[in-house]
Structure 1
Amino acid sequence: MLLSSRRAFSVMTLAALAGLGAAAHAQEVLRVAASPVPHAEILEFVRPQLKAQGVDLQVRVFNDYVQPNLAVSDKQLDANFFQNRPYLESFNKDRKTDIVEVPNSDVHIEPFGAYSQKIRKASELREGAVVAIPSDPSNSGRALSLLAREGLIKLKDPSNIKSTARDIVSNPKKLVIRELESAQLPRALPDVDLALINTNYALEAKLDPGKDALFIESGQKSPYANFIASRKDNASSPAVTKLVAALHTPEVRKFIQDKYKGAVIPAF
């Protein structure tokens, strides 16, 4: 009887120790929404580092700019990585959401470019040419600013990054501005004369911004850095803090530089 009691005690002790070991290795789950390229690729690069720090990074890929914010706002996901400040400000205002930028979380800049399958340089644009730009307010203003920089149009206030088509004061070639959802712009290339495309969608469409863009933004002093966004209740959580730190390493900087070769520029 005594041996049975000892044996039972040993089994219970081993089970308890096993439970403690499992608890010690438990991973905190961090669910992050991201665009496929480059955001999800960068997140996958830091996944092993986070795992070693006790964070199970789960990346959910989205192909649009609306659902990643809604999923965070509705607490389906913890954070997202796909957007810049002008877009987030516009989204919160339009959707009555309260997504916040995680402090000091800028990761990279994606210079915005103009692409065409019909011409080789901007000066070849015909009168009445159709130019496709993103339909969301922040990116449409960005596209118009780039057109103005190239001298194709003039804007009422060139410094206003939220300009709309109504702010065009001069359009010498009578360009027809067509607004489309950002994700549709690469597919629209055969049907328009020029399309201004976000770099993440250009890369997904196998366009090389360095070679294929007729003209492109400078990456210097850009207000369009992409960062980690979250809700106020978890923007400073330990897991999110570890994610930001993991994204701000020399290894990530080198990964961005080597993989994207100037199409994506580190912002830290």
Structure 2
Amino acid sequence: MKRIWGLLTTVAIGAVLTGCGGEETGSAQTEGLLSDGVLTVGVTAGPHEDILNEVKNLAAEDNFEIEVITFTDFVRPNTALEEGELDLNSFQTGIYLDTIVEESGFDLTKIEPTITIPMGIYSEKYNDISDIEEGDVIGIPNSPTQEGRALQLFKEAGLITLPEGSGIEVTVSDIVDNPLNLDFITSEAAQLPAQLQDVGAAGINSNFILDAGINPEEYGLFMEDVEDLVQVNYLVSRTENEDDEALEQLIGYYKTPEIKEFIEEQFKGALVPSW
């Protein structure tokens, strides 16, 4: 049988400002990020976009206006935020942001955790992780941190050995032992689902699996343990705006029972709320 992840334990986050009901929010905001009357949020296409549109609809009931700007890559959402085209974005893990900040010098800050998107080993060819054969081609993401994350997943699945104590900084060249002589190739993360027909298996973030219309339960051979996962996604803003009232209001709308229920029903464990 394929390994299917079990019941996922959500983490309770401390109380946040309640933005739904009671007070008017967006209409009362006159300074800061809402001085133009609209909070502009950048997202990547797929689950982040779907969730923010639900948040947008919920906030609109209180006249809190959110504009959702959708990107198809991982570069522009941070560049646009740094350049002031966005008020914040929602698409990336904290670890990914740290890497981008270090490399680019962008003055961006994590504001609040949102969801966790587990990575899985997926295959159209095999039904069990133990079926992977010697010499198989294995696809993994080529983006910063995600290559190492995928390799750690294959290590946890017992297929390779990596240096003791290593983390997501590892690359294919760091593999210590590869008993099946697996041929690891790197590719754009979003392209990996389309490449499943050409490889034995691939390490893919579940959001890309969902985008491709693939059932993660049907094709997943091995999944990250969400309870131990540090790859949490965040709302991110420019550091100068990290205490802006509008961000607290957005968090209040995001981290509601309504949005949590939407995530759980819509994505069926492929995404996990962080609260």
Give me the whole-angstrom Cα distance separating, in 1, the residues matched to 2:88 and 2:242. 8
Q: CA deviation at 1:94?
A: 2.3
Give me the whole-angstrom Cα distance separating, in 2, the residues matched to 1:204 and 1:28. 32
Runs of 4+ in 1 over 4 A off after TM superposition: 23-27
Residue in 2 aligned with 1:99?
A: 108
Q: CA deviation at 1:60?
A: 1.0
Answer yes or no: is 1:34 the counterpart of 2:43: yes
Give me the whole-angstrom Cα distance separating, in 2, the residues matched to 1:72 and 1:223. 24
C-alpha contact 2:127 2:219 (8 A) present in aligned 1 = no
* Residues 157, 54 of structure 1: alpha-carbon distance in 2 compared, 3 angstrom cutoff: farther
Q: CA RMSD in A?
A: 1.9
Gaps of 5+ in 2: 1-26, 31-35
Give me the whole-angstrom Cα distance separating, in 1, the residues matched to 2:43 and 2:51. 10
Larger relative helix fraction? 1
C-alpha contact 1:69 1:80 (8 A) present in aligned 2 = yes
Larger Rg: 1
Answer yes or no: is 1:80 the counterpart of 2:89: yes
Answer yes or no: is 1:58 the counterpart of 2:40: no
C-alpha contact 1:136 1:181 (8 A) present in aligned 2 = yes
My pick for the range that moved more, 61-70 or 116-125, is: 116-125
Q: CA deviation at 1:111?
A: 1.1
Q: Normalising by structure 1, report the TM-score.
A: 0.85
Answer yes or no: is 1:49 the counterpart of 2:87: no
Report the 3-state secondary structure (helix = DSSP H, G, I; strand = E; otherwise coil) of the residue aligned with 2:145: helix
Equivalent of 1:71 in 48, 65, 80: 80
Q: CA deviation at 1:137?
A: 2.3
Q: CA deviation at 1:235?
A: 2.3
Q: Deviations over 1:45-78 (max 9, x none)?
A: 1113322444311111112111111111111111
- Aligned pairs for 1:118-157 within 5 A: 118-157=125-164
Answer yes or no: is 1:207 the counterpart of 2:214: yes
Give me the whole-angstrom Cα distance separating, in 2, the residues matched to 1:200 and 1:212. 14
Q: Normalising by structure 2, report the TM-score.
A: 0.83
Equivalent of 1:197 in 197, 204, 210: 204
Gaps of 5+ in 1: 1-22
Equivalent of 2:182 in 175, 187, 190: 175
Give me the whole-angstrom Cα distance separating, in 1, the residues matched to 2:196 and 2:165. 26
State, as a whole percentage, how many aligned pairs show the same letter: 36
2:153 is aligned with what amino acid? Answer: L
Give me the whole-angstrom Cα distance separating, in 2, the residues matched to 1:196 and 1:80. 25
Give me the whole-angstrom Cα distance separating, in 2, the residues matched to 1:214 and 1:236. 42
Work out the number of aligned pairs and report it: 244
Give me the whole-angstrom Cα distance separating, in 1, the residues matched to 2:28 and 2:199. 57
Give me the whole-angstrom Cα distance separating, in 1, the residues matched to 2:164 and 2:37. 48
1:138 is aligned with what amino acid? Answer: T
Residue in 2 aligned with 1:262?
A: 269
Residue in 2 aligned with 1:230?
A: 237
* Residues 111, 25 of structure 1: alpha-carbon distance in 2 compared, 3 angstrom cutoff: closer
Give me the whole-angstrom Cα distance separating, in 2, the residues matched to 1:246 and 1:159. 38
Report the 3-state secondary structure (helix = DSSP H, G, I; strand = E; otherwise coil) of the residue aligned with 1:28: coil
Q: Deviations over 1:145-165 (max 9, x none)?
A: 100000100010355132222
Give me the whole-angstrom Cα distance separating, in 2, the residues matched to 1:209 and 1:91. 29
C-alpha contact 2:29 2:37 (8 A) present in aligned 1 = no
Bigger RCO (CA 8 Å, 6+ sep): 2
Give me the whole-angstrom Cα distance separating, in 2, the residues matched to 1:140 and 1:29. 37
My pick for the range that moved more, 148-157 or 125-134, is: 125-134
